[in-house]
Structure 1
């Protein structure tokens, strides 16, 4: 009789293999879960032990400071000055702890504040922060202990008050911003960093008197940076290094916010189907200025060169919120024949932006036209004619709505003189005007609906 069915022995053997594989799989899952639970438990225990040790370190530091004479309560390079280190490393139980000591004078409003209060250094506030590394690192959750220390008697402190205000792009106070203050022109020298409070402020009574000696730099993780400048760096800085005068308040404000990203693509003209244009060098310039030079020319905060790669692309990181313009530097091989979105480009905080611009061979004199409706929206497929009545007469159309040169078109090979411009589009009245062309010239045309 033919044997079409497997034997009972084979069936049992197959079942045994399946049971074995299933058992191994379940054991692996259980073992992995057990290992993860054990690891997590170890991390939690290690973190708790490290945090307890950090708390003891902070308490010890506070007690040491409390037992110092009042005049000695200060940090090296800080306001008020003293002999305590701003930062130090300690080893406990094989863990490296970083201890940061922050001491400032407090101008308490109970007796009014400066400048009404002519002795604004009412008492000192001490804050000790302890962080640590290792497997169970503190990350951004340090142990922090604060205390106020008073002299017990009325004391008059020499100097003035330095007050720093920090805002975001919308004008809202920005807490926990880093404020670094440096001055090597006074004794003792100052080099200290504070964090703004919930009102975005750092107030420092007891700052040593000086003229334009305090360099102030403000930033925050993933935020832009703003600082003061000396007249040796910028002839006429908008934010000059600050001075402090006796019994007066020096106040300065800064604006920072989260940075953004800009991805830029350079492409050829519509005649080449907007294919990638590799290795195109350009400059990116913001509208914010740091001041002016000796010839009253603006010094821009950002005016940097960039070059697209072999694929015609480049990504620019850490851009501050601003209005940016892309332009070609002197001696370039290209002219910009349009861009999407239309330049200049407004970049807001904490944003990801994409820009594509069209390039053509450089011409000594050229004209880039933009055609818009009364709402200033670009119009596609507009016939634009540029002529001089002598030797030049050329008609082109603006780019389509999905093209990088939407509503724009470039005329090259022009001369330095006046040209007539005509524009026609369905649903709009014909336009006639003139434009003086000098080097790379831009002309905006607004069409009126029929």
Structure 2
């Protein structure tokens, strides 16, 4: 009887396991089916959008073919004409964004400008690019259609000058596919053109009307820190590095701008032993150099703000430009004395360099003024500059204190060199040596907090 019951229980357990397996397989198959169905539906929808975009682009191109050659251009474009540069067009239930760009082309068949042979009329024909996008901004949701249009009869000069814009990275390499927006409201008709650089990072616009430092150029690219040109001083309050572009008739007018990939900056305030120091007020300036102040020559940077580290002594900044940054403790911050930045820079005690396309961690090292300690600053008597690598030997025989530290790049050294509750109150003797300088000796009394010691060494 017991054997029969065990047999039935085993049979029921096996059936339950089978049911669970079947349920799992059914759920898995159903999930895969619906995912495949959803993916297929999305592909069909994208195909419909793509076909609609191609049809719309062809329709726009046919309209352009019906225009006189002189009217083929965009309103406020170079060359100017009757076409609208940016349009939003509704077709059935789909909304398409249409961008039209017209540009003179210099065909190598009859030579190129400054080439061999030299083509003195580099506007051989017009190249039209129609881009139709839908949905997001990805390349998979846009199409582009190109066509060329030649003038009837013998080519004639388009007039004006040639605006050649180069977009480079910080290493001097051309940036292809960079977005360039050019405006100039000081001429008639006004100019408002948006396009992209070619494979070499260049944009070549023939027939640009003459204008002195009035072509405003804005440039950007996904993942890069873009910028713009500025009007000359005194319209701009400082002397800009990137001034508005100029065009002189019948010549090539070069304008070069630099941008590079964005970086991330992680700041941290710590004590000399790496412990977090929270809630420190500070000022940070730097990044892209925009220009210099008139008269003083002081640098003007794109980034500058007052901020505070959080409860962990940290603060971060994303999408920042490469370049030099200065990081200083707020003058109103009491109880802490600045020692150095880590990593250090030979450019200055509170200066650091942020490379392009980098995530950089920078520590501000601070000394607690309430803890018994000593901060030495060693400088040259000749010019007041900090002496790096000077050796400081600090002793107190009675207290059994005997430590040696080398100064950092700005000539500073902190005692004690190991983490302790603080130095015992007393008078300490020091000896400072540095190659090429006379040895300096003296004493410092540490009694109630941080003692700052300034040492000037003679060659």
Do they fold alike, i.e. is TM over 0.5?
Answer: yes
Contact 1:399 1:406 in 2 (8 A): no
Does residue 78 in structure 1 map to residue 72 in structure 2? no
Q: Which residue of 1 aligns with 2:392?
A: 383
| In structure 2, C-alpha distance between the alignment counterparts of 1:442 and 1:256, rounded to whole Å | 42
1:55/1:351 CA distance change after superposition, 3 Å: same
Q: CA deviation at 1:280?
A: 1.7
Partner of residue 286, structure 1 = 286
What's 2:277 paired with? Answer: 277
Change in 2 beyond 3 A, CA 1:236/1:339: closer
Measure the CA separation in 1 of the matches of 2:41 and 2:266: 44
Deviations 1:204-245 (A, max 9, x none): 111111111111112211101232111211442222112211
Q: What's 1:342 paired with? A: 344
> Counterparts of 1:365-376 in structure 2 under 5 Å?
368=377
Alignment partner for residue 252 of structure 1, among 244, 252, 255?
255
> Shift of the alpha carbon at 1:361?
6.1
SS where residue 129 of structure 1 aligns?
strand
**Hey, what does 2:122 align to over in structure 1?**
120
d(CA) in 1 for partners of 2:267 and 2:275?
A: 14
Pair 1:266–1:395, CA change in 2 (3 A): farther
1:366-412 deviations in Å (ceiling 9; x for gaps) = 86569xxxxxxx879x53569xxxxxxx9975489xxx99995259x
Q: Distance in 2 between matches of 1:410 and 1:87?
A: 62
Deviation at 1:57, TM superposition (A): 1.1
Q: How many residues align?
A: 403
Gap change, CA 1:111 and 1:328, over 3 Å in 2 = farther
Deviates more, 1:59-68 or 1:84-93: 84-93
Q: Give the distance between the partners of 1:431 and 1:4, measured in 2 at CA.
A: 102
1:20 partner SS = helix
Matched with 1:102 is 101
Mapped contact 1:100–1:129 kept (Cα < 8 A): yes
SS in 2 for 1:82: coil
* Distance in 2 between residues matched to 1:423 and 1:242, nearest whole Å: 56
Counterpart of 1:206 in structure 2 is 207
TM-score normalised according to structure 1 size = 0.79
Q: Which residue of 2 aligns with 1:354?
A: 361
* Residues 18 and 315 (structure 1), Cα distance of their counterparts in 2 relative to 1, 3 Å cut: same
1:266-287 Cα shifts (integer Å, max 9, x gaps)? 12344xxx43222222233337
Contact 1:398 1:408 in 2 (8 A): no
Deviation of 1:249 after TM superposition, in Å, equals 1.5
Aligned to 1:437: none
TM-superposed CA distance for 1:121, in Å, is: 2.2
Find the counterpart in structure 2 of residue 416 from structure 1: none
Aligned pairs for 1:108-147 (under 5 A) are 108-114=107-113, 117-133=119-135, 139-141=138-140, 142-147=142-147
**Residues in 1 aligned to 2:129 and 2:286: alpha-carbon distance in whole angstroms:** 39
TM-score, L = length of structure 2 = 0.77
Change (3 A) 1:329 1:244: farther
User: CA 1:238 to 1:139, structure 2 compared with 1: closer, same or farther past 3 Å?
Assistant: closer
Aligned to 2:168: 167
With over 3 angstroms needed to count, the CA separation of the structure-2 counterparts of 1:121 and 1:80, relative to structure 1, is same
Counterpart position of 2:445 = none
Per-residue deviation, residues 36-67 of structure 1 (Å, max 9, x unmatched): 11112112222222211111111111111111
In 1, Cα distance between equivalents of 2:52 and 2:223: 31
Q: Does 1:423 align with 2:432?
A: yes
Q: Give the counterpart of 2:264 among 249, 261, 264.
A: 261
Decide whether the 8 Å contact of 2:162 with 2:206 is kept in 1: yes
Map of 1:150 onto structure 2: 150
RMSD between superposed Cα atoms in Å? 3.7
Map of 2:418 onto structure 1:
none
| Contact 1:105/1:124 (8 A) holds in 2 | yes
Partner of 1:241: 244
Question: Counterpart in 1 of 2:17?
Answer: 18
